[in-house]
Amino acid sequence: MIIETQPTPDNNVLNFFPPQPILKSGQAEFVDAKSLRKSPLAEHIFDLGGIRSLFITSDMISVTKEEKASWEELKPQILAEIMDHLSTGEATLTPAAEKDDNVVEQIQGLLNARIRPAVKQDGGDIVFKDFKDGIVYVEMQGSCKGCPYALVTLKEGVEKILKTYIPEVREVRNQSQEEE
């Protein structure tokens, strides 16, 4: 099995191109212990040590190493982990992570097609931030940010639409309110 590698302008980043798809669709980024639980492959690569982050698309794995780590040591180990992963046929993402990714795509699609155009007519915007445990986190922007009707828009408009079309959605929250 030949896995091509390609250096990037950043000496701490190396791209790996396996001969077969890694993800069915979309992309995934792994930067911390919580995100690693979503991918056995990411977990194995991080276990090598010296890894700061992974970015995976259908045809590429971009690995960012820590400054002090050496590609001479890491590259063959990463190649071995990718080959092992591909030879087992194991999914790159856990089923729960794939399901969440699909839900996120649906949420973003609805936001962009039906909700954002209406919000923009009032001089504002709504931006998707996260989806966790059935809760969609968005950020109200522009004139909607400080508007007293923003909560009504969020609950009576956005939440109702998302819950109607996407059963996994339980609630919608404005992320900037969460941080205050």
Residues facing 5 on adjacent strands:
16
Rounded mean pLDDT of the chain? Answer: 87
Residue 101: pLDDT above 90?
Answer: no
d(CA 122, CA 23): 39
Residue 103 Cα distances to 46, 78, 85, 145, angstroms: 26, 30, 26, 25
Is the predicted pLDDT of residue 169 greater than 60, yes or no? yes
> In whole angstroms, what separates CA 150 from the centre of its chain?
27
Long-range contacts of residues 25-29, Cβ cutoff 8 Å, at least 24 apart: 25/58, 26/57, 26/58, 26/101, 26/105, 27/55, 27/56, 27/57, 27/58, 28/55, 28/56, 28/92, 28/93, 28/97, 28/101, 29/53, 29/54, 29/55, 29/56
Secondary-structure percent of the chain, ordered helix, strand, coil, rounded to 5: 45, 25, 35
Sheet holding 135-142, edge to edge: 124-132, 135-142, 171-174
pTM of the predicted model over 0.75? no
pLDDT in tens, 126-135: 888 888 888 9
Over residues 42-97, the pLDDT tens digits come to 999 999 999 999 999 889 999 999 999 999 999 999 999 999 999 998 888 877 66
In this prediction, residue 10 carries a pLDDT of 92
- Residue 43 has a pLDDT of 93
**Domains along the chain with CATH numbers:** 4-93 (3.30.1370.70), 96-179 (3.30.300.130)
Q: How many CB atoms lie within 10 A of CB 62?
A: 18
Per the DSSP assignment, residues forming a β-bridge with 54 are 30, 63
CA separation for the pair 146, 176 (Å, rounded): 10
